[in-house]
Amino acid sequence: MRIIFITAAFIVAACSQVKPAVTSDPHPVVLAHVEAFNVQDAKAMAEVEHPDIEWLTATGSEILVEVSGRENLTKSMEEFFKSPTKIAGTLRDWSVNGNYIAVTETAHWSTSSGEAKSQSALTVYQLEDNLIRRVWYYPSVEN
């Protein structure tokens, strides 16, 4: 079973240009995104997403683009929310560096037999214009 997390991973780009730091507190933007995910509201998620959002997964030495664009991500989330498995995320270990926010996201769900499960992953959000521009997910570990 593939679990999609609403959080982002940390990327260090030695020679890349970085936009100036976010001018307001990034916590409400990221929290709004995860809260909307938790209630399975793809449209509310989209309200805090940049039109050109990129949803990325880091796997070993590769970074895969899972979804590009707000409309595509909204459609993807609407399909994901049709699953009978309901997943909720929590965030901890916040670290803010300019317009990058690294968190540990823990996904919680129950199996069809009622067994509680969870797994955590490092996630990094990049904000642009106080909207989520990119989300990187790193490999998860079972809790």
Task: Say which residue, 63 or 15, is predicted with more confidence.
Answer: 63
Which residue type sits at 47? E
Q: Which two tokens stand for residue 69?
A: 């664009």
Question: What is the chain's Cα-based Rg?
Answer: 15
Instruction: Judge contact between 10 and 100, C-beta under 8 A.
Output: yes
pLDDT band at residue 4 using 50, 70 and 90 as cut-offs = very low
Task: Say which residue, 80 or 1, is predicted with more confidence.
Answer: 80
pLDDT band at residue 64 using 50, 70 and 90 as cut-offs = very high
Instruction: Judge contact between 22 and 99, C-beta under 8 A.
Output: yes
d(CA 90, CA 5): 10
Instruction: Give the pLDDT confidence of 102-139 residue by residue, as tens digits.
Output: 999 999 999 999 999 999 999 999 999 999 999 999 99
Q: Is 35 helix (H, G, I), strand (E, B) or coil?
A: helix
Instruction: Give the pLDDT confidence of 19-57 residue by residue, as tens digits.
Output: 444 457 899 999 999 999 999 999 999 999 999 999 999
